[in-house]
């Protein structure tokens, strides 16, 4: 059982003047310093004794340009690292071009927590249950990272390495996440199954993004991502391309999703139930997207 | 002193109660709670002298303590004392003294307090815990109550036979059974052999936690002469005074408990749990206040939890649908100490027929020690767990015999004069009306179409009964002191937990005295040094018991006022009345304000002296009519004071793709005799329904090898407002109680008693599957549907 501690362990709050200083400090204290963004996971983990070595919290949320959402009709969307979930949900550009992202962000925790929690923080936290990871992956998200050697890009496709483990190195600070323009006509849907209706972690999360594609036999292309059924998000790209999309084909794709994952038993649910739910919720999400593609629906 | 002595039923009070009884006046504490002005225990300030306590707890479910070395901890700068069981050899416990304040030779659950530290900061106290080294010899644990009763089971309390115990609790020395309650009524075997239908089911109801929004907190200070003051979030200031004083060997008069508002109790702040730890530590650092505040995680497994239950039911009826027999075996998972929980075993036993007239009943209700968290009181006191299975069996039996479950309940429910399971005669009750009205409110008998093709709907109903489970002679007292302008201060010892008891008491005092409601002030916080005695704020007993004391005190003050004025006016008190704060005479038409006379008395004519004096009304109440029950048969004259009855009906929708159960609507109908404040009664019914839904669908302490695997809100889910039904109806039924003030009886706990089985029965109606034991999680329901071949 995890030890319960009152209050927080001692730590120093560090507020660097710029990114260089922040990266340098983090790199010099690889075991003991952690970047601090919304804090919704950080403080819980500190209190739980999960991060025993942390001595410095490096506040990186007030650095330049990090609290903005920008949209370029040619290049796509950029969400600054300090942008809260609620800001993502409320942004009209996100709503009109990346509504799946807004839908997923809306299912994270509770309204109160979403005023602090950030999209980039959710990604960097790399929880297998992260609600927005699927949408970020399927939209082809790329992280803008500042490290000791300057800026670089980290595509999400190769970012997640295990629960809480990512491609980030000591000194790395994610400044934004960028998404290219979605394929025209894209429709997305996120199905989250929690134990109760509000503010739970996902027992299973299924994200689906589909779009018309004249190069495939079906005329469509579907991508699917699964949460909470493995150490990292499970992605099934390019589904339902070979043959016309029918209820049977959707069912088959859902079965494929079920076979692709290897969940475990834990306090939130059994592996057996999770697999069955991957099938049922994949069927549900694929069907919703398929209906949307036919009717012009753009997701919730 | 005007003491209510009810040995024989009094005639029913007339229904037209004096104002403001029966009115939904605004709560007395509304303004201060909404603005944040209200003071709770953690808000109290004690200055820089205060020390902070933390507790070293056993990591083993069962172990012998070989050695405790605190030398390193004591050497840590800022640490002022380390306390172990050596300083607190006495026993503590409400009905059975089976517990030390700190473990002495043995730890019996994960979380059992082994040592306590006081330090200048909470952080230093916490750090000191790692510097206390405890050597254990790990012992085999008992992790299931049915295992615990086996003859070869490891004994948790070999000294059970020597423990001090209340005379209505029956420990079985040499076993793990701290109480065995038996019912033997009629001839069960004969009735079973002649039955037209018999059902048999077993239910395993898991442990749950109360999860009050305010965790436990206690601050203790001991002065140089050894006199103790304890401030805390408490449902039981007087019981704590008594139990802690007894355990420490000091006088009750030298222990003062101060109890500000409670931020939710639901039973977990009744009796004594962590409060004695703070006192024992403060004993070693005299003059300095010591504060102990539990973390949310500790709240889940170190204070009381609702006991687990393994219940076996066999139930039978005849061809006409008359219940003929019940054969029950209950194994309560009492946890490491059963000092309070033993009485749940008894309560379940004397209510083990459910609210039904059953001629033949055999019940064995075992309380069993296990190496699990300590089972204690929780809203419903055993009845939600017990009636969860019982009311599902009633449903099965009705369907088995081909009767509508609502009609079956109507036919069999207790009525005035019924010969109850203990031999007691039932008083007047509105249970039949409750069953009908709850069913009617959700459109019983009419099947609504589901909201989507992959969903199914069902309706379920369950009835309930519950008596206040307490010592037979649990008492209440009250005083009323008049101020110069005719307003008054009402002294009482029952606690405001959010249920609105201060408001209801002020209403009863105002109505009895004849003054406006807003003239009554409550002497709060409750302080055992200044407040009148009250046994505990539990068992839904305050409106009834403390209400009787308050009415008696108000009558006493009123009598003194009327006698004074009658003497002055040369009239008789019988011709006078107090209406809206004025004494009036029906005979002479004279009228006088209460102002002045209630403190200064009245001048005699011609400046010839004075009559009267400060008015102080006193009242007390104690039920004197509850009798003992035979240990072998559970039969006796009057097992309990009375039963509150009621029913709930719900409509659910089950998602066939996920198994998720959504409660669409719920109707509660309860007979509380008289609703002193209908709004407060309605929110009790709504709150109980939602808490019942929460325990039905989500809540469960996941215990593995004695360890709670989900001690936080991340993985211990409770219902949120989104999980509550949009449509909640609360129906007040009023069949007056002969020993209650204005005919009232309690209704605080009852509304969560029938919720679990009502939902289970609705799930069965929707799917044809008996979901069994709660929680009916989406996973459990889905996998049951898979096993039944309903889905893949």
Asked if the Cβ–Cβ distance from B657 to A281 is below 8 Å, we say yes
Q: Chain B: nearest CA to A293, how far in angstroms?
A: 21
Q: Is B436 on the interface with A (CB under 8 A)?
A: no
CATH code, domain with A129: 3.30.465.10
Claim to verify: residue A75 and residue A42 sit in the same structural domain: no
Q: Is A272 on the interface with B (CB under 8 A)?
A: yes
Average pLDDT for residues B346-350, to the nearest whole number?
Answer: 98
Claim to verify: residue B636 and residue B780 sit in the same structural domain: yes
Catalytic residue numbers of B, as ranges = 749
Q: What is the pTM of this model?
A: 0.96
Claim to verify: residue B27 and residue B57 sit in the same structural domain: no
Claim to verify: residue B616 and residue B526 sit in the same structural domain: yes
> B389 lies in a domain?
yes
pLDDT in tens, A170-227: 999 999 999 999 999 999 999 999 999 988 999 999 999 999 999 999 999 999 999 9
> A2 lies in a domain?
no
Q: Chain A: nearest CA to B415, how far in angstroms?
A: 40
Asked if the Cβ–Cβ distance from A272 to B783 is below 8 Å, we say yes
> B208 lies in a domain?
no
Residue B15: pLDDT above 80? no
The dihedrals phi and psi of B313, each to the nearest 5 degrees, come to -120, 135
CA separation for the pair B326, A50 (Å, rounded): 52
Check residue B7 and give its pLDDT.
40
Q: Is B209 on the interface with A (CB under 8 A)?
A: no
Claim to verify: residue B454 and residue B541 sit in the same structural domain: no
Average pLDDT for residues A75-98, to the nearest whole number?
Answer: 97
> B766 lies in a domain?
yes
> A7 lies in a domain?
no
Claim to verify: residue A170 and residue A207 sit in the same structural domain: no
Q: Chain B: nearest CA to A80, how far in angstroms?
A: 28
> A4 lies in a domain?
no
Nearest to A199 among B660, B711, B720 (CB): B720
Alpha carbon separation from A56 to A15, A28, A30, B328 (Å, rounded): 10, 11, 10, 60
* CB crowding B121-149: b at 16 or more within 10 Å, else e: ebbbbbbbbebbebebeebebbbbbebbb
- Chain B residue closest to A110 (CA)? B720
> B526 lies in a domain?
yes
CATH code, domain with B442: 3.30.365.10
ipTM of the complex: 0.96
> A5 lies in a domain?
no
Q: Are B536 and B729 in contact (CB under 8 A)?
A: no
- Chain A residue closest to B125 (CA)? A6
Cα B106 to chain center, whole Å? 30
Claim to verify: residue A225 and residue A256 sit in the same structural domain: yes
Check residue B4 and give its pLDDT.
44
Q: Are A131 and A108 in contact (CB under 8 A)?
A: yes
**Containing structural domain, residue A45:** 12-57
Claim to verify: residue B582 and residue B657 sit in the same structural domain: no
The residue among A146, A179, A212 that closes a domain is: A179
Q: Mean pLDDT in chain B?
A: 96
Claim to verify: residue B673 and residue B757 sit in the same structural domain: yes
Q: Is A184 on the interface with B (CB under 8 A)?
A: no
Residue B180: pLDDT above 80? yes
**Containing structural domain, residue B444:** 305-470+627-787
Instruction: Record the tokens describing residue B37, joined without a space.
Output: 């002005």
CA separation for the pair A133, A233 (Å, rounded): 7
Claim to verify: residue B105 and residue B245 sit in the same structural domain: yes
> A63 lies in a domain?
no
The residue among B621, B640, B666 that closes a domain is: B621
Check residue A48 and give its pLDDT.
86
Check residue B10 and give its pLDDT.
42
Cα-Cα-Cα-Cα dihedral sign, residues B450, A285, B656, B463: negative
The residue among B621, B646, B664 that closes a domain is: B621
CATH code, domain with A216: 3.30.390.50
The dihedrals phi and psi of B294, each to the nearest 5 degrees, come to -80, 145
Interface test with A, best of B658, B661, B712, B719 (most A CBs within 10 A): B658
Average pLDDT for residues B537-551, to the nearest whole number?
Answer: 98
Q: Chain B: nearest CA to A195, how far in angstroms?
A: 7
pLDDT in tens, B572-593: 999 999 999 999 999 999 999 9
B632: left (phi over 0), alpha (psi -120 to 50) or beta: alpha
- For chain B, report the end-to-end CA distance as a whole number of angstroms: 71
Residue with structure tokens 């695997």?
B709
- Domains in chain B: how many in total? 3
**Residues in chain B closer than 8 A to A198 (CB atoms):** 720-723
pLDDT-derived band at B772, boundaries 50, 70, 90:
confident
Check residue B14 and give its pLDDT.
47
CATH code, domain with B81: 3.90.1170.50
pLDDT in tens, B234-268: 999 999 999 999 999 999 999 999 999 999 999 99
Asked if the Cβ–Cβ distance from B707 to A10 is below 8 Å, we say no
CA separation for the pair B666, B258 (Å, rounded): 39
> A300 lies in a domain?
no
pLDDT-derived band at B8, boundaries 50, 70, 90:
very low
Claim to verify: residue B565 and residue B651 sit in the same structural domain: no
Query: Residue B568's beta-bridge partner residues?
Result: none
Q: Is A75 on the interface with B (CB under 8 A)?
A: no
pLDDT in tens, B712-746: 999 999 999 999 999 999 999 999 999 999 999 99
Average pLDDT for residues A12-25, to the nearest whole number?
Answer: 96
SS3 A191: strand
Q: Are B407 and B399 in contact (CB under 8 A)?
A: no
- Domains in chain A: how many in total? 3
Question: Looking at chain B from residue 719 to 738, which residues have their Cβ under 8 Å from any Cβ of chain A?
Answer: 719-723
């Amino acid at each position: 059982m995890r030890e319960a501690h009152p209050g927080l362990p001692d730590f120093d709050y560090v507020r660097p003047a710029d990114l260089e200083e922040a990266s340098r400090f983090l790199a010099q204290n690889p075991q003991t310093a952690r970047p601090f963004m919304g804090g919704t996971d950080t403080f819980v983990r500190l209190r739980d004794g999960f991060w025993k070595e942390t001595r410095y919290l490096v506040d990186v949320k007030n650095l330049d340009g990090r609290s903005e959402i920008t949209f370029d009709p040619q290049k796509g969307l950029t969400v600054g690292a300090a942008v809260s979930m609620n800001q993502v949900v409320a942004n009209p550009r996100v709503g009109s071009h990346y509504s799946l992202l807004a839908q997923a962000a809306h299912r994270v925790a509770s309204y109160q927590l979403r005023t602090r929690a950030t999209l980039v923080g959710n990604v960097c936290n790399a929880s297998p249950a992260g609600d927005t990871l699927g949408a970020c992956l399927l939209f082809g998200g790329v992280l803008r990272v500042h490290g000791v050697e300057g800026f670089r890009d980290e595509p999400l496709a190769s970012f997640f390495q295990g629960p809480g483990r990512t491609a980030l190195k000591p000194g790395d600070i994610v400044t934004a996440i960028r998404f290219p323009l979605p394929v025209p006509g894209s429709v997305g849907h996120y199905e989250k199954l929690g134990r109760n209706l509000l503010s739970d972690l996902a027992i299973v999360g299924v994200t689906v993004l589909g779009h018309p594609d004249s190069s495939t036999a079906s005329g469509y292309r579907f991508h699917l991502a699964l949460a909470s059924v493995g150490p990292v998000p499970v992605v099934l790209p390019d589904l339902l391309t070979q043959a016309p999309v029918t209820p049977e084909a959707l069912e088959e794709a859902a079965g494929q999703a079920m076979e692709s994952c290897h969940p475990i038993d834990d306090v939130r649910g059994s592996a057996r139930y999770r697999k069955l739910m991957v099938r049922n919720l994949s069927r549900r999400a694929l069907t919703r997207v398929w209906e949307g593609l036919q009717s012009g629906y753009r997701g919730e | 002193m005007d003491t209510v002595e009810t040995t024989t039923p009094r005639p029913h009070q007339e229904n037209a109660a004096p104002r403001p009884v029966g009115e939904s006046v605004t709560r007395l504490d509304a303004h201060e709670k909404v603005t944040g002005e209200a003071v709770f225990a953690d808000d109290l300030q004690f200055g820089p002298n205060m020390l902070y306590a933390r507790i070293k707890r056993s990591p083993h479910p069962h172990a012998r303590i070989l050695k405790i070395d605190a030398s390193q901890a004591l050497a840590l700068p800022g640490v002022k004392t380390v306390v172990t069981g050596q300083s607190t050899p006495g026993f503590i416990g409400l009905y059975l003294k089976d517990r030390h304040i700190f473990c002495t030779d043995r730890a019996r659950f994960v979380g059992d307090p082994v040592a306590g530290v006081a330090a200048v900061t909470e952080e230093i106290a916490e750090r000191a815990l790692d510097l206390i080294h405890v050597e254990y010899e790990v012992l085999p644990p008992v992790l299931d109550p049915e295992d615990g009763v086996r003859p070869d089971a490891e004994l948790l309390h070999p000294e059970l036979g020597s423990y001090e115990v209340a005379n209505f609790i029956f420990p079985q020395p040499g076993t793990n059974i701290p109480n065995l309650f038996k019912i033997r009524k009629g001839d069960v075997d004969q009735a079973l052999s002649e039955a037209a239908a018999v059902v048999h089911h077993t239910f395993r109801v898991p442990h749950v936690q109360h999860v009050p929004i305010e965790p436990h907190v206690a601050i203790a200070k001991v002065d140089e002469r050894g006199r103790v003051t304890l401030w805390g979030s408490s449902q039981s200031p007087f019981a704590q005074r008594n139990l802690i004083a007894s355990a420490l060997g000091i006088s009750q008069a030298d222990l003062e408990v101060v109890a500000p508002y409670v931020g939710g109790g639901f039973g977990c702040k009744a009796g004594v749990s962590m409060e004695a730890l703070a006192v024992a530590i403060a004993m070693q650092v005299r003059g300095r206040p010591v504060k102990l505040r539990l973390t949310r995680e500790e709240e889940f497994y170190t204070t009381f939890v609702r006991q687990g239950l393994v219940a076996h039911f066999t139930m039978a009826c005849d061809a006409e649908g008359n219940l003929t027999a019940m054969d029950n075996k209950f194994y309560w998972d009492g946890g490491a100490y059963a000092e309070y929980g033993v009485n749940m075993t008894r309560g379940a036993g004397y209510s083990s027929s459910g609210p039904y007239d059953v001629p033949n009943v055999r019940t064995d209700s075992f309380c069993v020690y296990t190496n699990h968290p300590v089972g204690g009181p929780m809203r419903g006191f055993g009845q939600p767990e017990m009636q969860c299975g019982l009311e599902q069996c009633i449903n099965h039996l009705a369907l088995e015999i081909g009767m509508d479950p609502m009609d079956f309940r109507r036919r069999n429910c207790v009525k005035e004069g019924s010969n109850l399971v203990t031999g007691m005669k039932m008083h007047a009750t509105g249970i039949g009306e409750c069953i009908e009205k709850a069913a009617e409110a959700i459109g019983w008998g009419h099947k609504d179409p589901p909201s989507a093709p992959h969903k199914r709907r069902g309706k379920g109903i369950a009835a309930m009964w519950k008596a206040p489970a307490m010592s037979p002679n649990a008492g209440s007292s009250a005083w009323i002191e008049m101020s110069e302008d005719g307003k008054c201060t009402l002294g009482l010892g029952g606690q405001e937990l959010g249920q609105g008891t201060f408001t209801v008491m002020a209403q009863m005092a105002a109505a009895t005295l004849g003054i406006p409601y807003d003239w009554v002030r409550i002497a709060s916080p409750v302080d055992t040094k200044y407040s009148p005695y009250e046994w505990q704020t539990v068992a839904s007993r305050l409106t009834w018991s403390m209400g009787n004391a308050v009415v008696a005190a108000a009558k006493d003050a009123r009598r003194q006022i009327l006698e004074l004025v009658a003497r002055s006016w040369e009239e008789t008190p019988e011709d006078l009345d107090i209406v809206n704060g004025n004494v009036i005479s029906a005979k002479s038409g004279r009228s006088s304000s209460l102002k002045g006379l209630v403190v200064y008395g009245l001048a005699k004519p011609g400046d010839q002296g004075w009559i009267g004096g400060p008015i102080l009304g006193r009242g007390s109440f104690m039920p004197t009519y509850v009798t003992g029950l035979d240990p072998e048969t559970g039969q006796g004259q009057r097992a309990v004071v009375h039963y509150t009855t009621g029913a709930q009906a719900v409509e659910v929708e089950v998602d066939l793709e996920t198994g998720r159960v959504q409660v669409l609507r719920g109707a509660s109908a309860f007979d509380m005799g008289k609703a002193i404040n209908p709004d407060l009664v309605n929110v009790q019914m709504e709150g109980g329904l939602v808490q019942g839904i929460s325990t039905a669908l989500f809540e469960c302490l996941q215990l593995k090898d004695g360890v709670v695997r989900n001690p936080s809100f991340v993985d211990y889910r409770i219902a949120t407002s989104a999980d509550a039904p949009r449509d909640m109806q609360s129906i007040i039924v009023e069949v007056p109680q002969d020993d209650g003030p204005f005919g009232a009886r309690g209704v605080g706990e009852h509304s969560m008693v029938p919720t679990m089985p009502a939902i289970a029965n609705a799930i069965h109606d929707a799917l044809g599957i008996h979901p069994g034991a709660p929680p009916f999680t989406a996973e459990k329901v889905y996998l049951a549907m898979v096993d039944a071949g309903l889905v893949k």
